[in-house]
Amino acid sequence: MFGGYATGKVSRRLANADGLGNTQRMFDLRKPLVFLLLGLVLALPALAGSPRVLRVLTWQGYADADVVKEFERRHGVRVEVTQIDSDTALWQRLMASGGEDFDVFAVNTAELQRYIAAGIAQPINPAAIPNIARQLPRFRDVAAIPGLMHGGRLYGIPYTYAEMGLIYDRAQFARPPDSIAALWDPRLQGKVLAYNGGTHNFSLARLSLGAATPFRIAPGGWGEAVQRLIELRRNVLAFYSQPDESVALFRSHRVALLFANYGRQQLQLLRAAGVDVGYVIPRDGTLAWLDCWVVARGAQERKLVDAWLDYMLEPQVSGLLVSRQGLGNTISEAPGERAPSKLSWLEPVEDVGRREKLWARIISGDRVGRVLAP
Q: For residue 74, which of 55, 58, 57, 51 has the smallest C-alpha distance?
A: 51
DSSP 184: G
Q: What is the spatial distance between Cα 296 and Cα 332, in angstroms, rounded to a whole number? A: 27
Q: In the prediction, which pLDDT does 11 show? A: 43
Measured from the Cβ of residue 351, the count of other Cβ atoms closer than 10 Å reads: 14
Is residue 257 within 8 Å of residue 270, measured between CB atoms?
no
pLDDT in tens, 219-272: 999 999 999 999 999 999 999 999 999 999 999 999 999 999 999 999 999 999
Compute the mean pLDDT over every residue in the chain, rounded to the nearest whole number. 88
Pairing of strands 328-329, 286-296: unpaired
Q: What is the pTM of this model?
A: 0.74
State residue 341's pLDDT score. Answer: 55
C-alpha gyration radius of the chain: 31
Q: What pLDDT, in 10s, does the model give residues 325-373?
A: 989 999 998 665 444 557 888 998 999 999 999 999 999 999 999 999 9
pLDDT of residue 343: 81
Helix (DSSP H) and strand (DSSP E) numbers for the chain: 13, 15
Residue 32 has pLDDT above 60, yes or no: no
Give the residue with greater pLDDT, 108 vs 14: 108
**Closest to 167 (Cα-Cα) out of 157, 158, 175, 177:** 177
Q: Quote the DSSP letter at residue 51.
A: P
